[in-house]
Amino acid sequence: TPAQASVALHTGRTIGEISPLIFGGFAEHMGRCIYEGIYDPESPLSDERGLRTDVMAALRETNYRIMRYPGGNFVSGYRWTDGIGPKADRPRRRALAWRSIETNQFGPHEFMDFARELGTEPMWAVNLGTGSIQEAADLVEYMNLPTGTLYSDLRAANGQQEPYGVKYWCLGNEMDGPWQIGQMDAATYAEKAVQASKLMRWMDPSIKTIACGSSATSMPGYPDWDLTVLNHAYDQIDYFSMHHYAANPYPTVSNTERLPLDTDSYLASSIHFAEHADTLAAAIRVAKAKNRSKRDVHLCWDEWNVWYRAKGGDGDWSEAPHILEEEYNLEDALVVATWLNTFLNKADVVKIACIAQIVNVIAPLMTRRDAMFRQTIFYPLTLFSNHAAGHALAALVRAPIHDTKRYGGVSQLDVSASFDEATGRGATFLVNRSQTEPLQVTVTWENGAPQAVTHAWQMSGPDPLAGNSFEAPDAVTAQAIAAPVLDGAHATLLLPPLSFTTLLSQHP
Ligand code: AHR
């Protein structure tokens, strides 16, 4: 008989309102994300604007609510004025961050067309590496002001009369990183971010700005960088950014040291993600108190994903170098599911999150000129994004504890849940982290039985390393399974080892 576990839910025991913006993506001018990913005029699958129709359809399935652009490291050397005006006149430049040639055939207008077509909120990063605070404010003027000034008139001349109204603005990217173009220390960055944010808001007071946190918990400056920036910039920002990548073996900041595979720890790595969010949430509270502020700042987890760095990150100065094309497997999908559980379980503090990235590089979709496939991580992302809504519920979980090298004793079952009062829909997300042991779980809705568990999907399989490919695009997917029949307010089901299960329930 399998081990037993229980999950108790109460629709009134909430953690916080789920911000739909936690289901976000990130599209950087990097490798083949933009060129040959989103935009590929030479593909038979592209429309008249050069947008890949198969990619657009898959991105719509994922239902991204916000899209960060244009970087990432790329943005720290990007001149946005290169990307406007007639395409034939746009300059070709070396993009230093990823050693590629930037043709600028995809720029601000093309991105806004793409975002509008997808129905996703744009989140724009300004260049605080080589860029000045004036250039950042000029970009806000170009994108958001009604005509009648230099840059807003230029926008109209380039075909867009109405302001775009971009609301979310990242103040640079990972400015603590030695790899960053224009790296600076925390105090210098904090002051530049404050001045940029001030100018940008004077240009358009309705915008929200996001300051950079440390680029990883493994950075030597973490968490001092975060405290310095938050304390200095608190009253000039709305969100504070955090980045986090995981891998098996655990990634190191230098990426030179390779540790042995440790799958049990990897499957428990959400413990570390949650700790990171807790530390920064506490830093935000300290900064709020220090600044005697009445405003709230929230976490913007604007880069997260599994990233092995197995495929080199250095381009060859070509237009769309094949760099960082990660291949994902079942265990990666399970880690992504636990990450999304973490977002729900931190719904009170995490209000924006963007998976890095959306196509080809570190991404749920992989293309070649004539085909595309969905990687394993596509499935948890899409299930959460389409079904988690309303409030996140604080689940009371009883499950066996298993031992891991990195985190000690860890619950075999990782859970999150949501309830949407407007529709009466509940969603429960369950990950069985064990590589070998099934788990019989009983979910109980403490304050009344749902009318039914209406849908259930499951991802599982014996091989944690199994993945999809052009040849076998559907080897590892989420399968619809029979929804468990209710016994009063209880639903009991078997979770295979290495599995991710989603249950939808309808409540009176
Ligand atoms: O997402 C890939 C890269 O990771 C981004 O450009 C950078 O911000 C981070 O280091």
- Residue whose CA is at the smallest distance from ligand 1 atom 9: 72
Rounded to the nearest angstrom, the distance between the alpha carbon of 95 and the centre of ligand 1 is: 14
* Residue linked to tokens 């008249």: 48
pLDDT at 21: 98
Q: Does some domain include residue 31?
A: no
pLDDT at 254: 47
**Residue from 179, 303, 325 to probe ligand 1 pocket by mutation (most atoms less than 8 Å from CB):** 303
Same domain? 409 vs 328: no
Q: Does some domain include residue 100?
A: yes
pLDDT at 253: 46
Q: Is 108 in the pocket of ligand 1 (CB under 6 A)?
A: no
- Residue whose CA is at the smallest distance from ligand 1 atom 5: 72
Rounded to the nearest angstrom, the distance between the alpha carbon of 72 and the centre of ligand 1 is: 5
- Residue whose CA is at the smallest distance from ligand 1 atom 8: 72
Q: Does some domain include residue 376?
A: no
Contacts of 32 (CB under 8 A, 6+ apart): 320, 321, 322, 325, 359, 360, 361, 367
- At residue 134's C-alpha, the angle toward residues 293 and 121, to 5°, is 65
Radius of gyration of the chain (CA): 23
Same domain? 307 vs 454: no
Rounded to the nearest angstrom, the distance between the alpha carbon of 114 and the centre of ligand 1 is: 21
pLDDT at 441: 98
Same domain? 104 vs 249: yes
Q: Is 14 in the pocket of ligand 1 (CB under 6 A)?
A: no
- The span from the CA of 82 to the CA of 180, in Å, is 20
Same domain? 224 vs 134: yes
Q: How far is CA 491 from CA 47, 229, 393, 428, in A?
A: 46, 47, 17, 11
- Residue whose CA is at the smallest distance from ligand 1 atom 6: 72
Same domain? 304 vs 420: no
Rounded to the nearest angstrom, the distance between the alpha carbon of 73 and the centre of ligand 1 is: 6
Q: Is 72 in the pocket of ligand 1 (CB under 6 A)?
A: yes
Q: Is 356 in the pocket of ligand 1 (CB under 6 A)?
A: yes
Rounded to the nearest angstrom, the distance between the alpha carbon of 175 and the centre of ligand 1 is: 11
Q: Is 170 in the pocket of ligand 1 (CB under 6 A)?
A: no
How high is the ipTM of this complex?
0.99
Same domain? 273 vs 419: no
Same domain? 404 vs 259: no
Same domain? 419 vs 271: no
**Residue from 215, 243, 307, 325 to probe ligand 1 pocket by mutation (most atoms less than 8 Å from CB):** 243
**Residues classed as catalytic:** 174, 303
Lookup: tokens for 185 = 């220390």
Rounded to the nearest angstrom, the distance between the alpha carbon of 125 and the centre of ligand 1 is: 12
Intervals of the chain under pLDDT 70:
250-259, 310-312
Phi, psi at 486, each rounded to 5°? -75, 140
Q: Does some domain include residue 61?
A: no
Residue span of the structural domain in which 309 resides: 66-313+324-339
Q: Is 345 in the pocket of ligand 1 (CB under 6 A)?
A: no
Total number of domains constituting the chain: 2
* Residue linked to tokens 């749920």: 364
Q: Does some domain include residue 346?
A: no
Same domain? 309 vs 398: no
Q: Is 73 in the pocket of ligand 1 (CB under 6 A)?
A: yes
- The span from the CA of 308 to the CA of 145, in Å, is 42
Whether 187 contacts 228, CB under 8 Å: yes
Q: Is 303 in the pocket of ligand 1 (CB under 6 A)?
A: yes
Q: Is 76 in the pocket of ligand 1 (CB under 6 A)?
A: no
SS in 3 state form for 187-249? HHHHHHHHHHHHHHHHHCCCCEEEECCCCCCCCCCCCHHHHHHHHHHHHHCCEEEEEEEECCC
Q: Is 357 in the pocket of ligand 1 (CB under 6 A)?
A: yes
Lookup: tokens for 128 = 């605080």
**Residue from 78, 173, 175 to probe ligand 1 pocket by mutation (most atoms less than 8 Å from CB):** 173
Contacts of 416 (CB under 8 A, 6+ apart): 340, 341, 342, 343, 344, 345, 388, 392, 393, 395, 428, 429
SS in 3 state form for 38-68? CECCCCCCECCCCEEHHHHHHHHHHCCCEEE
Q: Does some domain include residue 300?
A: yes
Q: Does some domain include residue 187?
A: yes
Q: Does some domain include residue 372?
A: no
- The span from the CA of 467 to the CA of 371, in Å, is 17
Instruction: For residue range 423-480, list pLDDT tens digits in order.
Output: 999 999 999 999 999 999 999 999 999 999 999 999 999 999 999 999 999 999 999 9
Same domain? 416 vs 286: no
Per-residue burial over 210-241, b = 16 or more CB atoms within 10 Å of its CB, e = otherwise: bbbbbbbbebebbbebbbbbbbbbbebbbbbb
Q: Is 176 in the pocket of ligand 1 (CB under 6 A)?
A: no
**Cβ count near 96 (within 10 Å):** 15
**Domain containing 148 — which CATH number?**
3.20.20.80
Same domain? 142 vs 230: yes
Same domain? 76 vs 211: yes
**Domain containing 436 — which CATH number?**
2.60.40.1180
Rounded to the nearest angstrom, the distance between the alpha carbon of 184 and the centre of ligand 1 is: 17
* Residue linked to tokens 């224009």: 182
pLDDT at 261: 83
0.90 surpassed by pTM? yes
